[in-house]
Amino acid sequence: MLSQIVHAAERVPGWWRLRSLFLSGVAALHRRRLGRVAFVAITGSAGKTTAKLLTTAVLATAGRIRPGAGTMNTFDHIMIVVIATKPSDDFCVMEISAGKPGALDRPLATVRPRIGVVTSIGGDHLKAFHSVEAIAEEKAKVIACLPEDGTAVLNADDPLVIAMADRFSGKIITFGLAESAALRAEDVRSAWPERLSFTAVYQGSAVEVRSRLCGIHWTTAVLAALAVGLAVGIPLAQAAKAIEAVEPYPSRMHPVSRGDGVTFIMDDWKSSHWTMASVFAFLEAARARRKILVIGTLSDYSGNAPRTYGRVTRSALGVADHVVFVGPMATHALRAKDPETAHRLHAFAAIKDAAEFLGSLLQKDDLVVLKGSINSDHLGRLAHHRLDPISCWRMDCGKNMPCSVCSALRADVTSASRQAGRPPAATVSPSRQINLAVLPQCTAPMEVLVGIGNPGERYQNTPHNVGVGVLDAMAARLDLTWSVHDDVALAHGTLNGKTILLAKPQTYVNNTGKCLKELSEALGFRAEDCVLIQDDIHLPLGKLRSRARGSDGGHKGVRSVLVTFQTDEFRRLKIGVAPAGPPPSAAEYLTTPFTAEAAATIDPAINAAVDRLLSMLGKA
Please list the active-site residues: 464
Rg (CA), the chain: 29
Cβ atoms of 99 and 125 closer than 8 Å: yes
What separation in angstroms does the CA of 444 have from each of 185, 374, 449, 582? 65, 47, 14, 45
Alpha helices in 505-579 (DSSP H): 512-523, 556-565
CA distance 599 to 607: 12
Cβ atoms of 332 and 551 closer than 8 Å: yes
Instruction: Tell the burial category of 524 from Cβ atoms under 10 Å away from its Cβ (0-12, 13-18, 19+).
Output: exposed
CA distance 20 to 80: 10
SS3 35: coil
CA distance 142 to 567: 48
CA distance 286 to 292: 11
Pairing of strands 91-95, 38-43: parallel
- Spatial neighbors of 48 by CB under 8 A, at least 6 apart, are 42, 73, 95, 96, 97, 119
Angle, nearest 10°, between helix axes 305-317 and 276-285? 10
Closest CA to 162 of 151, 147, 148, 176: 176
Closest CA to 560 of 507, 484, 485: 507
Phi, psi of 260 (to 5 degrees): -85, 0
CA distance 202 to 205: 5
In what order do the strands lie in the sheet containing 115-118? 65-67, 91-95, 38-43, 115-118, 151-155, 171-176, 183-189, 197-202, 205-210
- Spatial neighbors of 356 by CB under 8 A, at least 6 apart, are 425, 426, 427, 428
Would you tell me how many other CB atoms lie within 10 Å of the CB of residue 521?
A: 12
CA distance 266 to 126: 24
- Spatial neighbors of 247 by CB under 8 A, at least 6 apart, are 212, 254
CA distance 37 to 244: 26
DSSP letters of 148-159? TT-EEEEETT-H
SS3 content of the chain, % helix, strand, coil (to 5): 40, 20, 40
Instruction: Tell the burial category of 281 from Cβ atoms under 10 Å away from its Cβ (0-12, 13-18, 19+).
Output: middle
